[in-house]
Amino acid sequence: MIPLPEFARKYGRLSAQELSEKIGAAYFLVTGEAENNTNAKKEDFWTEETDEEARGQRISPKHVKVFPLFPPGEDKLMMSVGRARRSDVRLDTTAISKFHAWFTRHADGHFTLQDAESQNGTVCDGQTVVPKQPIEVEGGSIIVFGEAIEGLFHDADSMAIYLKTVAYGFFR
């Protein structure tokens, strides 16, 4: 996990191909606690808003943590999400199951998300993820794990755009 300001300073000028080759094929950006807001819109993540009152609806890039997924040199096709120490995306809250969900990278380059029959569930773009049934995720998909942790999924293409249009300007 890397704080977004550090990630943007270090990698903000890389192309999508360079991000994929050097850091990871996909990214999960943790924006904070979901605050029971499973109806967030994608544009809510593209703002400079820092007002505490608006925190559950608009997220400043300064509060975001980046989890690179599917790093180069590793042949992993699945990345786990949970509170267990060995989780690839470790979310340290009791609202998240030890093994909550997983991301899968497919040979054709698309990604899916599956809930692992977690106690508190998973929501993707406002749709409840049925346990053990894959749902396609794409750049900009909003994911809520266990009604506790809200985040944004990016593939390398959309991450490069995000860094250039939103994050990089904040942290040069």
pLDDT by residue (tens digit) across 33-45?
A: 644 434 444 444 4
Q: Which two tokens stand for residue 164?
A: 């250039």
CA distance 110 to 135: 11
| pLDDT higher than 80, residue 97 | yes
Q: Where are the alpha helices (DSSP H) in 123-163?
A: 156-162
pTM as predicted = 0.82
DSSP conformation class of 130: P
Of 30 and 168, more confident: 30
Q: What is the domain range of residue 102?
A: 2-171
Beta strands 135-137 and 2-3, pairing class: unpaired
Domain at 25, CATH number: 2.60.200.20
- Least Cα distance to 148 among 39, 35, 28 occurs for 35
The partner residues of 32 in beta bridges, in order of sequence, read 150
Q: Is 145 helix (H, G, I), strand (E, B) or coil?
A: strand
Identify the pLDDT of residue 64. Answer: 84
Count of structural domains within the chain: 1
Average pLDDT over residues 85-103: 94
Encode pLDDT of 47-77 as tens digits.
Answer: 443 444 433 444 566 678 999 999 998 889 9
